[in-house]
Amino acid sequence: MKKENLAIMLDSLEEIAVYVIEQDTHRILYYNKRVQDVNGNVGLGKICHEVFRENCSECPLLTIGDRRSSHVIHYRTSFGEVADVMANRTLWDGEIPAYVITVIPHKLEFEESQGLEQIDRMYTKSLVTVFNECIIANLTQDYYVNCQKDRMWTQIPVRGRFAKENEHYARMMLHPDDWEAFSQFFSRDGMLRIFGEGKTQISKRLRRRMEDGTYHMVEFTAARIAYQMLIAVNLTNNSYHMIEHDRFHAKRAPESGNFDELIALGVSTVAPEFQEEFIRKFSRKSLLEKFAGGEKQVSMEMRQIGNDGEYHWNATQAVRIESPYTDDVLEITMTKDIDEERFRQEENFRKERAAKDLLEAALQKAESANLAKSDFMSRMSHDIRTPMNAILGIAALAQAHLYDPKRMREYLKKIEVSGTHLLGLINEVLDVSKIESGKFELEEAPFELNSLIQDTVSIVQPEIREKNQNLVVELDEKIHFSVLGDEQRFRQVLVNVLQNVSKYTGCGGRIRFSASEKADGGDQSGVYQFVIEDNGIGMKQEYLEHIFEPFSRAADSRTSKISGTGLGLTVVWTLIQQMGGRIQVESEYGKGSRFVITVSLLKDDAAKCSGGKG
């Protein structure tokens, strides 16, 4: 080929710049048209670094050493956004050692997508990974720590101001077409905005420069983490770097150092009951074993002593970081304060427990009420059958003696007694169901307490007399007798209790019935106390707790012989509650019982007076 043809050919390369410099002096020996077009200052004999000064910091000759050629990538040069700059050794004019410099616009080389995806998958599984780099940043306070400093060819300092270094990183390592996207998603402002909107992870595929100058598509991931302490650990080297330590550690560990020593210090701050587990999980040996066994993370919740001298709950997690570029086993330990979470958990647990207890109690109550009910049913059928049989039997007898008036009178009397008993039984059942379904209201009308007491006594008197019991009535004469209330219901209360007292006391037993007004009653209303006591069969303490429950009767051979429904005192208790009063029972088995009823009643005169005056 003729020399002219060669020159014409080189000048016709529109995109490729070619020039030759002398090895020793860097004088320009040749340049093609493209060089001239880009830089008008170029000229034969001029010194390269004087003409192309702005590119000298990344000159391929800086790294050529003894090699035949060298290659660098330049950004935003006058030769193009991204350019491959190469230097090749040659002999000029057959004798002068020289370099041929070529500047060619960069063509991206993409790895086979298969291979890329594999790397991506691996990385998204890791915590925070930027290809070979893993950077943990505190965005608010604008600082970061580069936790994979093993491969420092990117020249990112181990720690520093995040916003500045991050931008520098982008300019240095990313394809210029992706700078915009990087700044939108991964700049400090960008991430603060996106995380501020509630997102917890940002992932984008961007073109990143490799060591050989080519670009690979790489997935960048930023994940938001909220931990009070972050430690980057290289288990193989037994070294660590604290990234965040805004914690309550009483014994502050150095920011970086020997990992075994860090664990030894750590365990001394852990509550004794967690120390064994702490070592079993987080010692270097255990972590290496676990990670070698394929585990990706190790975690535990524990109590650790803080600056305030108190134990605090924290959750600690060691997450394995995968890197295809180093065989070292890397992990990040994260610790987060969970005092509040724990408190809430315990609170919930307590509430759940209480609800469960309540349910259980209700269930038990329902069960025992159910049991009592079926017990009652069998007793009721017995109680009803007895007078019913009597009535039918006597009726049959009466049929046979229709013309014997003496016998007929006797039979009719017996039928009347049984019928009355039956009616009483039915009435009580109806009463309870009426009260239980809330279909009744108390009246408020004037009545006299002394006549109420007299009436009560005369109703129960026949039974008392029949058993030859000794009844003493003590009525405090100073009582204010005229009151307002539901006399009929009140009478029912007193009769039921007095009847029981007689019923559960043997023949010749003693019964005392007293009424008094308590001194602190005041003018408008009076607090009255009625005491009804006996020296009868008494009750065991365990039964007293159930005495007012519907259908309950003391499990006692002596009681079972006495007819009853277990409803009388339920009626009493419910009525007294409605009246705003109170009933107390004391009893000693085999000795006797004492019922004390306390009610506040409006004084009738007082009501009239205040009405008149007003």
By the criterion CB under 6 A, which residues form the site for ligand ADP? 500-501, 504, 534, 536-539, 547, 553-554, 559, 564-570, 593
Nearer Cβ to ligand ADP (191/567):
567
Residue 602 DSSP SS3 = strand
Please, which residues have CB within 8 angstroms of residue 574's CB and are 6 or more apart in sequence? Answer: 432, 435, 436
Least separation, in Å, of the C-beta of 549 and ligand ADP?
A: 9
Least separation, in Å, of the C-beta of 550 and ligand ADP?
A: 8
**CA-to-CA distance for 497 and 516, rounded, in angstroms?**
17
The dihedral region occupied by 315, where left means phi > 0, alpha psi between -120 and 50, and beta the remainder, is beta
Nearer Cβ to ligand ADP (192/596):
596
**CA-to-CA distance for 483 and 605, rounded, in angstroms?**
8
Which tokens is 284 given?
A: 């270097």
Nearer Cβ to ligand ADP (526/564):
564
Q: What is the DSSP letter of 47?
A: B
Please, which residues have CB within 8 angstroms of residue 528's CB and are 6 or more apart in sequence? Answer: 449, 479, 483, 515, 516, 517, 518, 521, 598, 599, 600, 601
Nearer Cβ to ligand ADP (126/500):
500
User: What is the distance of C-alpha 169 from the center of its chain?
Assistant: 41
Nearer Cβ to ligand ADP (526/536):
536
Least separation, in Å, of the C-beta of 576 and ligand ADP?
A: 13
What's the distance, Cα to Cα, between the start and end of the chain in Å?
A: 135
Least separation, in Å, of the C-beta of 504 and ligand ADP?
A: 3
**CA-to-CA distance for 484 and 170, rounded, in angstroms?**
92
Q: How many residues does the chain have?
A: 614
Residue with tokens 């085999």: 590
The pairing of beta strand 330-337 with beta strand 229-234: antiparallel
**What is the SS3 assignment for 373-423?**
HHHHHHHHHHHHHHHHHHHHHHHHHHHHCCCCHHHHHHHHHHHHHHHHHHH
Nearer Cβ to ligand ADP (26/512):
512
Least separation, in Å, of the C-beta of 551 and ligand ADP?
A: 8
Least separation, in Å, of the C-beta of 416 and ligand ADP?
A: 21
The interaxial angle of helices 405-436 and 339-400, nearest 10 deg, is 170
Phi, psi of 376 (to 5 degrees): -60, -40
Nearer Cβ to ligand ADP (398/585):
585
Least separation, in Å, of the C-beta of 494 and ligand ADP?
A: 13
Nearer Cβ to ligand ADP (80/536):
536
Residue with tokens 């991204």: 82
Task: Name which of 447, 464, 471, 440 is nearest 599 in CA terms.
Answer: 447
Residue 345 DSSP SS3 = helix
Nearer Cβ to ligand ADP (451/468):
468
Least separation, in Å, of the C-beta of 481 and ligand ADP?
A: 27
Least separation, in Å, of the C-beta of 569 and ligand ADP?
A: 3
